[in-house]
Amino acid sequence: MDSMSHSKNEEVETKEMDIRSMSSSRRYVHSARYLHKVGVPPKQNLFQEFKATVRETFFADDPLRPFKDQPRSRKFVLATQAIFPILEWGRSYSWRKFRGDLIAGLTIASLCIPQDIGYAKLAYLDPQYGLYSSFVPPLIYAFMGSSRDIAIGPVAVVSLLLGTMLSDELDPVQNKPEYLRLAFTATFFAGVTQATLGFLRLGFLIEFLSHAAIVGFMGGAAVTIALQQVKGLLGIKNFTKDTDIISVMKSVWSNVEHGWNWQTIVIGVSFLSFLLFAKYIGKRNKKFFWVPAIAPLISVVLSTFFVFITHAEKQGVMIVKHIEKGINPSSVNQIYFTGEYLVKGMRIGVIAGMIALTEAAAIGRTFAAMKDYQIDGNKEMVALGTMNIVGSMTSCYIATGSFSRSAVNFMAGCETAVSNIVMSCVVFLTLEFITPLFKYTPNAILAAIIISAVAGLLDFEAAILIWKIDKFDFLACMGAFLGTVFSSVEIGLLIAVIISFAKILLQVTRPRTAILGKLPGTTVYRNIQQYPEATKVPGILIVRVDSAIYFSNSSYVRERILRWLMDEEEQVKAECQSTIQFLIIEMSPVTDIDTSGIHALEELHSSLQKKNIQLILANPGPVVIEKLHASNFANLIGDDKIFLTVADAVSSCSPKPVQEQGELSSRRDYA
């Protein structure tokens, strides 16, 4: 019995020793995790660093990946396909796809022909130039573009912008030949700008116009365009050239007694009602998408026939009169490459080209997302630029992606860019055979078509959503809208750019900072405002900086952290708690830091030393930790004051509670 009891006692002691050993081992493992230090990446030489930066900035999509490990002949084929995507998807083209493209092409052609005539008038150009711009550019884009759904041609906003800026330099009536040459020059440099941005892979520059600013600008431009069409809708002959709403309304009311033509008003209002009703039908039922698409052409045919049989032009109804017959004549020798108008053409072309590019990029991405395919932004810019360069040499003015036509193209079931080729062929037939029939087309119809087309640019739902999401974005939206409506298209655009840049500067110079607390039952530290249940650690202030620390915000970051510290010290005194002994900066969101940022940290460290507070850093990224070591700041505060996580940093400041917690955790694990 004694030997048995002695044996049992030995077993119990052995188990207790195993438990203590296991507990000790677990405590050791638990403690060992705090030995992990922040890794310093291997140093790169200047060339390697520069190469990596350039590659990530300009070649983030790795465009040369398909060429890797390919024979020379295959590389030549891939390069040709990269320039002309039609050679790639054309190999799998089928009759089924052509049927979809044929229907879509005919549908958008019926929409584009009356629109082109009206948009040309917006740019103060003769009607045929609008048709020219829907013949050559779509052909070029079909071979070089990567979007399957964009329908190319003149658009209302760019036409208005171009007409406004050109007319500020030359009178379109008294200096008609020079005005036309300046339009071609602006188109040429718009194309050069677009192609250059794509070739140099600088597409990210157009992203500086925020979505909110574009919504506001487009809405303001829609109102401005509609106001300009009041002249044609009411039959007013003497109308202001200013585009702001006040000048337009003054001009409208000053012509009430003798300037309005009732026959024109009847024609214009009747067909505008018809167009809006057709649009309503198309929105209510997607199966009837073709109704608003062919409604403009039906309106043109009916109104032209009505004016022809009644001779309404003799009663004051203004008509289109003559449209040049035949396809695009060459305009190479009409572009200004020297002289005083060269710089003016360049300036107008750059601005109009950027706006056209922004609109096309937004349209292309929208429809590509709906069909779940990718478009290459840089290829798109090269394609758009090339088509406008060629267009400027073939009597076209700036063309881009049209939202209304692209939407119809999409709903009509287009499969590829061949729909643009079909549309171009229909425009070619129109220029060769049908233009004389537009002689009696009333201007009121063109005004009605343009008003119904730009109505879709007023996106109230987007504006309401912007208000709900971001009030500063809404300010940018309304600033662009009001600037366009009450001043001019250029001022509205300028306001949009200024507010967009102001937002960027505000976010860069005033980054967000937050105080972190520990979530109960975890070692996770989060913003105490977002998580009210998170508790502060006694004697420790944990601050997170949500931005890179640069010269533009380094002083603010230092001062903001010191203000957080001051507020915390006042609260600690009021509640008779432990004084702050440690300041932990969570640096996970700090993607980069420059010399000004490091200098700010040095000043912060010096200020904290005077208060007997230790500065501790948690989880600096690879770029940041490398610069901290290079600047000797890591040695200044001590390598042992830089930790992998906030939990590690807290445990180093208060080891006893953490150790006890580790023992409890070990016991729970064993149990």
SS3 string, 41-103, reads CCCCCHHHHHHHHHHHHHCCCCCCHHHCCCCHHHHHHHHHHHHCCHHHHHHHCCHHHHHHHHH
Distance of CA 28 to the CA centre of its chain: 53
Note whether 471 and 541 are same-domain residues. no
Give pLDDT, residue 31: 44
Which amino acid is located at 586 in the chain? E
Q: Is residue 133 domain-resident?
A: yes
Query: At which residue do the structure tokens 């890179």 appear?
Result: 548
Give pLDDT, residue 181: 96
Residue where a domain terminates, one of 472, 500, 528: 500
Q: Is residue 23 domain-resident?
A: no
Q: Is residue 339 domain-resident?
A: yes
CATH number at residue 523: 3.30.750.24
Note whether 433 and 327 are same-domain residues. yes
Note whether 492 and 518 are same-domain residues. no
Note whether 287 and 308 are same-domain residues. yes
Q: Is residue 334 domain-resident?
A: yes
Note whether 542 and 492 are same-domain residues. no
Total number of domains constituting the chain: 2
Note whether 436 and 334 are same-domain residues. yes
Query: At which residue do the structure tokens 């020793």 appear?
Result: 17
Note whether 483 and 566 are same-domain residues. no
Residues 463-504 have pLDDT tens digits of 999 999 998 889 889 999 999 999 888 888 888 888 888 888
Note whether 150 and 264 are same-domain residues. yes
Note whether 586 and 555 are same-domain residues. yes
Note whether 105 and 221 are same-domain residues. yes
Residues 109-160 have pLDDT tens digits of 998 999 999 999 999 999 999 999 999 999 999 999 989 999 999 999 999 9
Q: Is residue 185 domain-resident?
A: yes
Give pLDDT, residue 60: 64
Note whether 521 and 465 are same-domain residues. no
Q: Is residue 461 domain-resident?
A: yes
Residue 503's SS3 state is helix
- Long-range Cβ contact pairs of 654-660 (< 8 A, separation 24 or more): 654/537, 654/538, 654/539, 654/540, 659/27, 659/31
Note whether 449 and 574 are same-domain residues. no
Residue where a domain terminates, one of 473, 500, 527: 500
Residue 181 near residue 336, CB atoms below 8 Å: yes
CA atoms within 13 A on the CB side of 351: 22
Q: Is residue 113 domain-resident?
A: yes
Q: Is residue 669 domain-resident?
A: no
Mean pLDDT of the chain: 86
Residues in the chain: 671
pLDDT at 12 exceeding the cut of 70: no
CB atoms closer than 10 angstroms to residue 659: 14
Least confident piece of the model among 56-60, 101-105, 425-429, 482-486: 56-60
Residues 6+ apart with CB under 8 A from 409: 104, 107, 108, 149, 150, 151, 419
Q: How far apart are CA 605 and CA 634, in angstroms?
A: 11
Residue where a domain terminates, one of 440, 473, 500: 500
pTM, two decimal places: 0.79
Q: How far apart are CA 497 and CA 458, in angstroms?
A: 19
Domain of 589?
A: 513-653
